[in-house]
Amino acid sequence: MTRYRKFRLHLKCKVFVLLVCISAVYLFLYRETYSRFSKTFFEYTSPLLDSSPCACQKCLSEGDPWFIGHFNKSVQPFLTSEYNIPEDAFNWWKHLQNDRSSLTDYREVVDKLFQIFPNRQYNTEPSPDKCRTCAVVGNSMNLKGSHYGALIDSHDIIIRMNGGHTQGYEADVGTRTTHHVMYPESAMDLGNTTHLVLFPFKTMDLRWLVSAFTTGSITVLKANYEFITQVMVLSPAFIKYVHEVWLDNPAHTYPSTGFMTVVLSLHMCDEVSVFGFGADSDGNWSHYWEKLKDKQFRTGLHKGPYEFKVIQQLSERQKLEMFKGL
């Protein structure tokens, strides 16, 4: 082999090695750049792709323009010492039961309330690491024989209302109660592990609560320190919001305790199950623990059929799960 051919072969080998090295360096740099780019990309986009507001399979606030048009998360459900009710909301609320109190009277009573009860900020916002489940247990006759008890007790928050109780009906309605909704006329004694949730319909209802825990003139409730820390009072402005937004502002009526509790649960939880709602076969709101005497009662002062229709809409839109019983 001539020197020239050797030289050319040696040169080709060097060029080949150089090209291999350049390719290796290029691939290495490209891989590192791509890796860094991919990492940065996914760091910034994964929160957006995984930005579910709660840890449930499906969260209430996701999608559905109809629901978003009704659900106003800026409305504070519970009274706090910092909250000042708008005058128009107070004037609307005071006419529900012909309350003659002034706004000044109302504010004085609220001030007394928070001298007795701790002022607490209630966080109703969803959290990506939590799935808060609610069972709203109505009082309908359709709960009898339903055997929903264990299912109801499996929820994080279990809300009962008015005269609803568990003793003797555990298999159908469960045993646990975390929150009990009431107003003075429907008041019942509660244990120390249950939150009393007062739905006030007049200023006198707030005075009743103050009296129950101070002068003792109303003894239907047990007053002790542990229990006092678990009193919650629904805001009159929230009642107005439910009436106007969820029920389309019907005249000469106001929302029932049951319907307001359903809407309240939408503000408190990420998954809501509703039990024991709906009229009996005669169209009456009858209770699972008693026999209805007034067969013409129907749904009282409330727009029962329309309220039930809205709850059914929420169920159809998968914003809550409705258990109809028997």
3-state secondary structure of 275: strand
- Angle made by CA atoms 176, 177, 181, in degrees to the nearest 5: 160
CA distance linking residue 128 with residue 301, whole number of Å: 40
Determine phi and psi for 199, rounding to 5 degrees.
-100, 100
Annotated catalytic residue 44 = no
Which structure tokens are listed for 111? 């001030």
SS3 labels along 108-147: HHHHHHHHHCCCCCCCCCCCCCCCCEEEEECCEHHHCCCC
CA atoms within 13 A of residue 61's CA, in its CB half-sphere: 18
Q: Strands (DSSP E) along the chain, which ranges?
A: 133-137, 157-161, 179-182, 195-198, 231-233, 271-275, 321-323
Residue 236's identity, in one-letter code, is P
Phi/psi at 296 (5° precision): -105, 15
Q: Catalytic site residue 155?
A: no
Give the residue among 108, 75, 106 at the shortest CA–CA distance from 93.
Answer: 106
- Bridge partners, residue 134, by sequence: 157, 272
Q: How far apart are CA 179 and CA 57, in angstroms?
A: 25
Kind and range of the H or E element at 1? none
CB atoms under 10 Å from CB of 215, counted, come to 8
Whole-angstrom distance, CA of residue 98 vs CA of residue 177: 32
Active-site choice (70, 180, 287, 302): 302
- Give CA–CA dist 267/230, Å, rounded: 18
What is the identity of the amino acid at 246? W
> Which helix (H) or strand (E) covers residue 235, if one does?
none
Pick the catalytic residue: 254, 267, 287, 288? 254
Catalytic residue numbers read 254, 302
